[in-house]
Structure 1
Amino acid sequence: MTKPEFPGNASRTAFTAAAARAAHLLVDSEPYLFTDSFAAALLGDRAEELLAYHRLHGTHPVLAGARAEVLCRSRFAEERLSHSGIDQYLILGAGLDSFAYRAAPGRFRVFEADHPATQAVKRELLAAAGVAEPASVTFVPVDFAADPLRERLVQSGLDLFRPVFVSWLGVTVYLTREAIAATLTDLGRFAPGSEIVADHLLPAELRDAAGNGYAEAVGPVAAEGGEPWRTFLSPAEFADLLAAAGFEVLEQAGQRESVPARLWDRTDALRPVALSALTHARRTG
């Protein structure tokens, strides 16, 4: 099977993450770790090809691992958001995230921040799928390597005087440690009470055999596709970066701890892997 092509300059990982969410409902058994009924539609005419990988090879450790990784982080972030009491939701590196199209109308004001090329493709895919852009969602085009994030958010209508809930998933591994710290510093200027859920890949010595196998298989492919992995952090190292930016860690979890234990009583190929960690933190002050 040939490698799938991706439209324009859209992020390859945005499509593979959406495919993993969509494939979960097609190839895995209940109980579902996370339900994303919009993911398949956002794949557009790439859906058949991308989902075929999971249909044909769904038990392969890399594909099963990709599904578990994406599903756990999405569930963890959205559950913390739902209990936060915060109505401004900023998704950094939104990719093909579908929260704004699944959420109850009017409950959240959603800001999707991502590279303009990826956002342009996403909006085309939404239109092609007949999915309306709700008034509650604002697209914030930003080149994270060059544009001032805070300025772009203010221009888009984010209220910096009220708390913001931030999800930052599947992104930090592609950034330098300095870029991660700079972004957290920007986020640390949000109103006290703001919260963040972010994930990061663990260094090799903190991964298990399955986690190292996944990294050895996927890392080179990501680099070949123009998105090399750059930074691996321990939970303590990420907590230190958050503390320096004015955040207090509320919770840290690996895949196994990120969802209810009953969800790992499974008959399919999904298993918790020591590959990454999730952190939930709150802006102090």
Structure 2
Amino acid sequence: MPHSVRAVCVFSERLIQGPRRSVSCSCPLERLVARFWAGRGNLSPQACGCQGASGASCEVRIVGARGFWPARRNAWRARRAGRRCLRPCRVDCFAWRRRRRGYWMMCWPWCLSARPVWRELRDRFDPLFPGPVRRESRAAVCTRSRYAEDRVAAGAFTQYVILGAGLDSFAWRQPDLLGSLTVFEVDHPASQAWKLDRVRVLGLPLSDSQVFVPVDFEAEPLQDVLGAAGFDWAQPAMFCWTGVAPYLTAQAIESTLRTIAAAAPGSEVVFSYRAEDCVLDDVGTEFARIYTPIAASADEPLQPGWSVIEIDRLISRCGLKVVDHPARADLQQRYFAGRTDGLRPYTFETLVAARVT
């Protein structure tokens, strides 16, 4: 199994303390995966060497808190219950858990991708990043999603908007929340079409609570597009906007925040932004040095970082109120306390939650 996949799988099962809940991410880096995938042709599960849903039984192993678990028993139970037994390629299944109510759970960020792509991505990019940088960057990706989803679970929201959803798998990982939430996945039409194709290939179920909103952010106002998709601006909503702001200009960030501020009182937004260089530790500085040219080569150049005071002022200017602005030490205490391996998120990005008043 590729080291990069193992690290994320084990991390998402074991890192976050509290109720066992897996996490995912959504950020422009996924578009790098999509571009890398685009030149690979149509890699179906069968092309990856695994039988399709009507083929013979195959041994699929899942990475979890106790290591590798055979999933053949779960497939058997699914067949006994009359449900379709899905058998995509092995790496597509590494983080899947079958629950008795028939939901598919995915506990690593890009679980809709496939084995050949991950292997080549690992071979291409892992050697560029030292071990500590890889560990802390992966920890940060999972932490920011856990942070946002904790606020969703704790709030009285009826709508959840994921801006720049990418390959986010919230709707499959958090089925218990779908009964009370409508999830709007907002992304560029090309990125969303690719994701839906992966969903189709893997045979994943779609819920009536999932609404896919294709939008060209440069040509279409977000407020109009969401309204046309059924979003109710009079009802409280949670907006998740992580892993995107580091690539946006100050004007674009302000415009999006002002749009969110038009939502119903009590609505919230969780977003992450690039920290200013002077607060980065050695790992954060090294990540910025290595990743900056990679992002630029993918036509997603990083923008300058922000200080905490500057972001607070921007949020207030847009008509929102900061309700939580955790430093890395706060996140370590919430999610990493008691660990003996020193794992923690990097300092490159900072999380903030703001509320519509």
SS at match of 1:257: helix
* Structure 1 counterpart of 2:146, from 54, 57, 75: 75
Work out whether residues 25 and 35 of structure 1, in 8 Å CA contact, stay in contact via their aligned partners in 2: no
The alignment status of 1:281 with 2:354, answered yes or no, reads: yes
Alignment of 1:227-238 (within 5 A): 227-238=300-311
1:265 deviates by 3.6
Task: Give the letter for the 1:30 counterpart.
Answer: R
What is the aligned partner in structure 1 of residue 14 from structure 2? Answer: 30
Runs of 4+ with >3 A deviation: 19-23, 26-34, 47-59, 259-262, 264-269
Alignment of 1:43-122 (within 5 A): 43-45=113-115, 46-50=117-121, 60-103=131-174, 104=176, 105-122=178-195
SS at match of 1:63: helix
Relative distance call for 1:83 and 1:261 in structure 2 (3 A) is closer
1:227 deviates by 0.9
1:44 deviates by 2.7
Per mean C-alpha deviation after superposition, the further-off stretch among 83-92 and 262-271 is 262-271
SS at match of 1:220: helix
Aligned length in residues: 266
CA distance in 1, matches of 2:5, 2:173: 14
Alignment of 1:252-267 (within 5 A): 252-258=325-331, 260-261=333-334, 263-267=336-340
CA distance in 2, matches of 1:112, 1:197: 15
Task: Give the letter for the 1:212 counterpart.
Answer: T
CA distance in 2, matches of 1:249, 1:141: 29
Task: Give the letter for the 2:214 counterpart.
Answer: P
SS at match of 1:249: strand
* Structure 2 counterpart of 1:196, from 269, 285, 292: 269
1:176 deviates by 0.5
What is the aligned partner in structure 2 of residue 210 from structure 1? Answer: 283
SS at match of 1:153: helix
Residue-by-residue CA offset, 1:150-208 (whole Å, 9 max, x unaligned): 00000000001111110100000111000100111111111111111111010101212
Relative distance call for 1:53 and 1:186 in structure 2 (3 A) is same
Task: Give the letter for the 2:185 counterpart.
Answer: E
**Which residues of structure 2 form unaligned runs of 5+?**
24-94, 96-105
What is the aligned partner in structure 2 of residue 130 from structure 1? Answer: 203
What is the aligned partner in structure 2 of residue 42 from structure 1? Answer: 112
Relative distance call for 1:223 and 1:149 in structure 2 (3 A) is same
The alignment status of 1:178 with 2:165, answered yes or no, reads: no
Task: Give the letter for the 1:186 counterpart.
Answer: T
Relative distance call for 1:58 and 1:126 in structure 2 (3 A) is farther
Residue-by-residue CA offset, 1:209-243 (whole Å, 9 max, x unaligned): 22111111111111111111014111221111111
CA distance in 2, matches of 1:102, 1:175: 28
Residue-by-residue CA offset, 1:63-94 (whole Å, 9 max, x unaligned): 21220120110111000111011120000111
Query: Greater Rg, structure 1 or structure 2?
Result: 2
Per mean C-alpha deviation after superposition, the further-off stretch among 233-242 and 50-59 is 50-59
What is the aligned partner in structure 2 of residue 241 from structure 1? Answer: 314
Work out whether residues 23 and 51 of structure 1, in 8 Å CA contact, stay in contact via their aligned partners in 2: no
CA distance in 2, matches of 1:148, 1:216: 34
Task: Give the letter for the 2:221 counterpart.
Answer: P
**Which residues of structure 1 form unaligned runs of 5+?**
1-18
Work out whether residues 234 and 263 of structure 2, in 8 Å CA contact, stay in contact via their aligned partners in 1: yes
Identity %: 35
CA RMSD of aligned residues (A): 2.7
